Amino acid sequence: MSTIRSGRPEGVRLEGATLEQARPGQSRPEGTLKHAASAEIPPVPLTVEGYSVLHQMMRFRWSAWRPLRPAQKVKIVQEAAAMLAKMEQNPTGPSALFSLLGHKGDLMFVHFRQSFAELNQVEMQLASLKLSDYLEPATSYLSVIELGLYESTIKIYNELAERGVAAHTQEWNAAIKETLARQREAMRTRLYPEMPKHRYVCFYPMDRRRGEEKNWYTVPLEERAQQMNDHGLVGRRYAGEVKQIITGSIGFDDWEWGVDLFADDPLVFKKLIYEMRFDEVSAVYALFGTFYVGLRCSWCELGKLLNGQVPLGIEKSL
């Protein structure tokens, strides 16, 4: 079984923004971010969460599939394609199928759902298909879409500290709750996105270094915020070329974050990630896991894929 062992991930912008352009009115002041009273406030930045996400990497048992009669294959594909069609269009969270390149697996399912319970239901639905007799799990990754709020964190922490409000008191908790609610509503489309329709996907997990000499989690909050701001400046140059979805997985899987990049040109993945390796937050603190690259396969292309044909992509196949 392939393993994903090998943080804030590549291209993350402050305030939960992705590689899209900043919204009007979201200008960021020149110079460094306002310094927080690190000794007086919690070091943990606020986050908001959205869809629960499951990546399933599968190997296909070609040796068992090839001897089947054509009629058997058609029946199996029709059953699976019908379920995949419903999953792709699921109103409470979509799914997508990708044909993986290389030896790490043959297929990758990506599921967005409202809860872990719904993800478990998806797993059982796929397992109930006759097609599952020909699928072997290679690995998987469980996480939730996460947007970091470094700027809002420093702002609200400073405001509360200046007012003399102690951390984790009733007044403090109420202010934090109000901030999270406001940010959650403002970023709803990023927390619950559509499944991107680009032809290629690149998925990888990441950690932040916690070694003896360099430890991301001991860096003061305001310094982490500034580094993340600089980090995001690179990503914004790729707006329009790449769609990025960041998921948090601390407590859920072996790494701390998952990164999904979607593009019509896979070379963009290399250029973006390589350029980001030179900023401090990646060069000093980033640890990368296994990379998975695949081509989008619509439900209506499943039969062709299992017949050895390269999928055309979601839009060209419909």
Q: Which residue has the tokens 């017949």?
A: 307
Give burial (CB, 10 Å; 0-12/13-18/19+) of 146. Answer: buried
Q: What string of DSSP letters covers 184-206?
A: HHHTHHHHSPPPP--SEEEEEEE
Grouping H, G, I as helix, E, B as strand and the rest as coil, residue 134 is: helix
Q: Kindly state the tokens that stand for 267.
A: 């070379």
- Sequence-distant (6+) residues with CB within 8 A of 191 are 16, 48, 49, 50, 51, 145, 147, 184
Residue type, 300: C
Q: For the beta carbon of residue 311, count every other beta carbon within 10 angstroms.
A: 21
Q: Which pairing describes strands 292-297 and 286-288: parallel, antiparallel, or unpaired? A: unpaired
Helices (H), 11-103: 62-65, 70-88
Q: Kindly state the tokens that stand for 183.
A: 């940010």
Q: Check: CB of residue 152 under 8 Å from CB of residue 160.
A: no
What is the distance of C-alpha 168 from the center of its chain? 30
292 is catalytic: no
Q: Kindly state the tokens that stand for 308.
A: 């050895």
Q: Which residue has the tokens 């994903």?
A: 4
- Out of 51, 200, 204, 285, pick the active-site residue: 204
Q: For the beta carbon of residue 205, count every other beta carbon within 10 angstroms.
A: 27
Beta bridge partners of 145: 247
Q: Check: CB of residue 246 under 8 Å from CB of residue 9.
A: yes
Q: How far apart are CA 257 and CA 15, in angstroms?
A: 16
Active site residues: 204
